[in-house]
Amino acid sequence: MNAIEAALIGGLVGALIVSGLGALLAWRQGQHDLRVRMLEHRHLLHRAALEDAARLRDARYNRLRDDARELAGALFDLERLALLMQWGESADKGEMRRLELSARARFEAARAGLTLDPDGVRLTATFESLTGEIAKYQSMLQSHRVLVEARAVQQAVDHADEMEAQRARVVDGITAALRETQVLLESVAVPVQAPPPAAAARDEAAASERAGDEAAGPAAAEIGALPESGLPVGGS
C-alpha cells in the first residue's frame, strides 16, 4: 500500500469516526432534551395537583368558617344561659328560653356541614356533650333550691360544692370548644407549598448531562487527538 492509498484509507476512517462521534453527540443531546421535557412535565403535573389541593383547601375552609361562626354563636348563647341559670330570677326565664332556642338553632344550622367534615364532626360531639353538662347543671340548681327551702344546711353546703364543680366543667367546656374551633380553622388554613420552578428541571437535567460529559470526556479527547488520516503517513 503506497502513501496515497494509506492517506485515502486514513481519511475515510477519520471521516467515519467524526461522523460516529457527531451521531453520538446528537443522540446524547436528544436524550438530554427528552429528560428536560419529562422533568418539566413532571413539575407541571405537580403544580396542577397543588393548585387543585389549594382550591379544595379554600372551599373546605370557607365552609368550616361559616359553620364555625354559627357554632361559636351557639356556644356564646350557652355561656350566657349558664350564667342566667345561676343568677337569674323568674323574670329571666323568657330570656333563658330564648337563649336555649337560639343556641339549638345556630347549632343545627352548622351541624350538617360539620358532620360531613372529617374534623368538624368532633365539634358536633363536643356541643352535644356541653348541652348535656348544662342540663345536669340546671338540674343541680333546682335540687339546690329545694335543699335551701328545706333548710337542709349541711346537705345544701355539700351540694353547693358539687354544683360549683359542675359550673366549672360547663365554663371550661365552652372555652375548650371555642379553642378547638379556632385550632381547626387554623389547621385548615395552612398554605399549600408551591412546587419548585420549571427551571429547576432544566438545571437537574443539565447536571445529569454534565456528569455524562465528564465520563465521556477522555474518550472524546483521544478521538480528537488522532491525525486526519487516522493512520501513520508513509506506511507501506
Per-residue pLDDT of the chain in tens (236 residues, 90 and over written 9) = 566 666 666 667 677 777 777 777 878 878 888 888 888 888 888 888 888 888 888 898 999 999 999 999 999 999 999 888 877 666 588 888 999 999 999 999 999 999 999 889 999 999 999 999 999 998 888 888 888 888 877 888 888 889 899 999 999 999 999 999 999 999 988 887 665 554 444 555 555 555 455 444 544 444 444 444 443 334 43
Q: pTM for the full model?
A: 0.62
pLDDT of residue 230: 40
* Inter-residue contact 130 to 177 (CB < 8 Å): yes
pLDDT of residue 231: 36
